[in-house]
Amino acid sequence: MTQNSSAGPEAAAGAVRPGAWLWAGLALLLAGWTFFPILIHGGPGHPMALVQHWLYDDNYSYGFLIPPLALYFVWERWEELRGLPAEGSAWGLAVLALAFLVFAAGTLGGVLVLPRASAIVLLLGAILWIGGWRWTRELLFPVLFLFLMLPIPNVILNQIAFPLQLFAAEVAEETLFLLEVPVRRMGNVMYLPHTQLEVAQACSGLRSLLALTTTGVVFAYFFGRTWLQRGLIVAVSIPIAILVNAARVAITGLLAHRYGMEVASGFFHTLEGFGMFALAFALMAVTGFAIVRLLPDPRTADPSGGGP
């Protein structure tokens, strides 16, 4: 009797209440019926489903990698999660209600990002409701990481893209001038002796900025040891992506001047894009490792100051 009574509280703490599984199943069915069109079909009111967005918008082609990476982050924590008691919190119901309110507001208002974001909020609420605060704390990063797969609303995207176009054109103009290439710029259009080069939205660097920032988050997760290190790694990925794209525009202008737009805009232009992104990643990695080395984790520092 003594052994059974001592094991009882542990088993009770670690087990999920039977009724919770029923409610969880009903919630998942309701969530699937509500959110599946957003993710896959893009039915009425959803002109472009999330998966279709990843397929047809090059700015977000990396979106397919986000869910598998999030699952990997969960798998890494699985041993810790198995040892945690599932102590559901009623606050999870409030988060679930918030998710459906966000979904309704986005659907009625035609703001597509809100229904998509509400699916992630719903997932967070379900974890809090069934698993409790400790489960939520362990799974918070994998869940929040899913927000990186959501396309940015066009009204915000355009406000970001045009300044990037102008900056890339300005840097390219100055670079070509230093290389003694005759160039004159008006806005985001550069005029060369025999051709002109427009820095369109596709050349703004927005695509590489989004991809490299997401890569920076993953890099910071694996190699950063403190929040300061991780924040700096993600932060430096932004100027690196912008500057490398400006260098790419300058190289394109140089090729257009010397070999014509046929060469500058052909296969080499695509190859150049992959090469410059690889360069940006290498710069971010080197900078990231430098940050980790120069800003050591105080938790691993020798309290005796390194003496014998």
| Winning range, highest mean pLDDT, from 82-86, 180-184, 282-286 | 282-286
Contact between residue 86 and residue 135 where contact means Cβ atoms under 8 Å apart: yes
Alpha-carbon span 31 to 5, nearest angstrom? 39
* Number of domains into which the chain is organized: 2
Is the same domain home to 259 and 164? yes
Strands (E), the chain: 184-186, 189-191, 196-198
Is the same domain home to 64 and 142? yes
Domain boundary among 151, 177, 209: 151
Q: Which of 44-48, 134-138, 220-224 has the lowest mean pLDDT?
A: 44-48
Which residues form the domain of 142? 2-151
Would 212 be classed as within a structural domain?
yes
Is the same domain home to 106 and 32? yes
- pLDDT interval class at 12 (50, 70, 90): very low
Tokens of 67: 């869910």
Is residue 307 classed as helix, strand or coil in its secondary structure? coil
Is the same domain home to 67 and 187? no
In order of 174, 252, 260, 273, the CA distances from 168 in angstroms are: 10, 11, 20, 14
Would 167 be classed as within a structural domain?
yes
Is the same domain home to 96 and 130? yes
Tokens of 169: 């054109």
| Winning range, highest mean pLDDT, from 2-6, 37-41, 61-65, 280-284 | 280-284
Tokens of 75: 């798998």
Is the same domain home to 73 and 161? no
Each residue of 34-45: pLDDT tens digit? 555 555 555 444
Mean pLDDT score of the chain, rounded to an integer? 82
Region 209-216: mean pLDDT is 95
Domain boundary among 128, 151, 174: 151
Which residue would you say has higher pLDDT here, 244 or 22?
Answer: 244
Would 268 be classed as within a structural domain?
yes
Contacts of 117 (CB under 8 A, 6+ apart): 102, 106, 147, 150
Would 308 be classed as within a structural domain?
no
Is the same domain home to 114 and 178? no
What is the model's pTM?
Answer: 0.81
Is the same domain home to 191 and 100? no
Is the same domain home to 262 and 127? no
Would 302 be classed as within a structural domain?
no
**Cβ neighbours, 10 Å, residue 168:** 24
Would 235 be classed as within a structural domain?
yes
Q: Which residues pair with 196 in a beta bridge?
A: 191
Which residue would you say has higher pLDDT here, 163 or 82?
Answer: 163
Domain boundary among 116, 151, 186: 151
